[in-house]
Structure 1
Amino acid sequence: MALDGEIGTVPWTIKGELILNCNCTVFCPCVVSLGKHPPTEGHCQTWGGVRIDSGGYGDLDLSGLNIGLMIEIPGMMGRGNWKVALFIDDRSTEDQYEALVNIFSGAAKGTTGLFQILVGEILGHERQPVSYETEGKTRHITVGRKIQGVVTPVQGKDADKDLVITNTEYWMGPDITVASAQKGKLRAYGRVWDFDGRSAEICQIDWHGPR
């Protein structure tokens, strides 16, 4: 059954958590430079995971689903030409799958609408079993045989408090927890990445659209 409403006009929301692990050797410069500074390696290769705690697309409930992401950026984030692959939770219905592709491709507009401008190519979108587990402060992400990730916040002077960059204008959310990956492996779409020990981010997300 097709979703009701023209794409880009349907109200949608996603609240939950997102993690990213990239090839930067230290914390990602894009967070504070908003894409005006190049990644530490000159280009960006990153995988991500999204846990949807609550959300919807029109009247369709998206709560409890997970998403995997692969993003490749040839230079500075703001210059575009991104290549993206989406891995949609295999527990999703056909309508949920379609809604999540609309949102994460940017077609649904709103918070993720900038993907319509920055993404030059969507390499593909497919169903995968996506697991997003939290053990203490450590996040464990598995996307089929495509992604294996273990991400932990970087310890600050007070071990009980996360090291957080707050009040940013970063598109994902204003408060970004500085983290690193104990495991960051991706095998997908001809890419073989191993970002163990590299930069990672954890962000509480509150996204919406179409505005």
Structure 2
Amino acid sequence: MGGVDRVICNLTNGERYMALDAVGTVPWTLKGELILNCNCTVFCPCVVSLGKHPPTEGHCQTWGGVRIDSGSYGDLDLSGFNIGLMIEIPGMMGRGNWKVALFIDERTSDAQYDALVAIFSGAAKGTTGLFQILVGEILGHERQPVSYDTDGKTRHITVGRKIKGVVHPVAGKDPERDLVITNTEYWMGPDITVATASKGRLRAYGRVWDFDGRSAEICQIDWHGPE
């Protein structure tokens, strides 16, 4: 996986190279928001079962987007970037053998790109470190134009020609309050807003998915590593 073979960090005292053995030791943080849209009927059982219950269709196909409001990898600033994700799981989430593709914001420098690949591949350890256990294959990682916009309660994400999604919370009795599953042990974060997609299209790596009307999740993230 070339993106983590050499992570380039631009430090205040000039450019230096961090060899592979340094990946997994660098402090990092990401704060922002994540959305997922999967092939499950509303609502995906993985949030509560922590992957011990099978997806509603027996397997999981998911696209996602991450908006990074603030973040860093060592002294490298990662704030303001967006990420697209494709995840394919053959059965129960907790049994692993995931296949993953990463779409990194095209505005990143080489150093920022490699740092984000290290984080989202799990190589940087910490919150996303479980990917090192669960992911069996990274299909690829590439730069793409990634937009992540919010209009009221609706989230819009576009990843080049790969992903087009529109996600909004499922309505509750009080229209002013989101329907939220709180205090979970889910890897993304403890509070998950129950949502659905009015548009959920992915065309990438030989996959053609249409998940309009299917389950979605919205989560505020506060991730860190390597601990």
TM-based fold match above 0.5: yes
Query: Aligned to 2:91, what secondary structure does the other structure show?
Result: coil
Q: Which residue of 2 aligns with 1:2?
A: 8
TM-score for both structures, normalised by structure 1: 0.99
Superposed displacement of residue 87, structure 1 = 0.0
* CA–CA separation in structure 2 for the residues paired with 1:103 and 1:29: 26
Query: Aligned to 1:202, what secondary structure does the other structure show?
Result: strand
Instruction: After TM superposition, list the pairs within 5 Å mapping 1:76-87 onto structure 2.
Output: 76-87=92-103
Query: Aligned to 1:47, what secondary structure does the other structure show?
Result: strand
Give the AA of the match of 1:2: I
Q: Which residue of 2 aligns with 1:202?
A: 218
Superposed displacement of residue 2, structure 1 = 2.4
Superposed displacement of residue 80, structure 1 = 0.3
Which of 110, 117, 140 aligns to 1:124? It is 140
Q: Does 1:154 align with 2:170?
A: yes
Q: Which residue of 2 aligns with 1:46?
A: 62
Q: Summarize deviations over 1:100-129 as a string: whole Å, max 9, x none.
A: 000000000000000000000000000000
Aligned residues between the structures? 211
Superposed displacement of residue 36, structure 1 = 0.4
**Runs of 5+ in structure 2 lacking a partner?**
1-6, 10-16
Instruction: After TM superposition, list the pairs within 5 Å mapping 1:3-152 onto structure 2.
Output: 3=9, 4-5=17-18, 6-152=22-168
Q: Summarize deviations over 1:36-82 as a string: whole Å, max 9, x none.
A: 00000000000000000000000000000000000000000000000
Q: Which residue of 1 aligns with 2:206?
A: 190
Q: Summarize deviations over 1:138-177 as a string: whole Å, max 9, x none.
A: 0000000000000000000000000000000000000000
* CA–CA separation in structure 2 for the residues paired with 1:150 and 1:97: 26
Query: Aligned to 1:2, what secondary structure does the other structure show?
Result: strand
Give the AA of the match of 2:158: T
CA RMSD in angstroms comes to 0.8
* Greater radius of gyration (CA): 2
* CA–CA separation in structure 2 for the residues paired with 1:129 and 1:38: 33
Superposed displacement of residue 26, structure 1 = 1.8
| Ranges of 4+ aligned residues in structure 1 off by more than 4 Å | none
**Runs of 5+ in structure 1 lacking a partner?**
none
* CA–CA separation in structure 2 for the residues paired with 1:112 and 1:28: 20
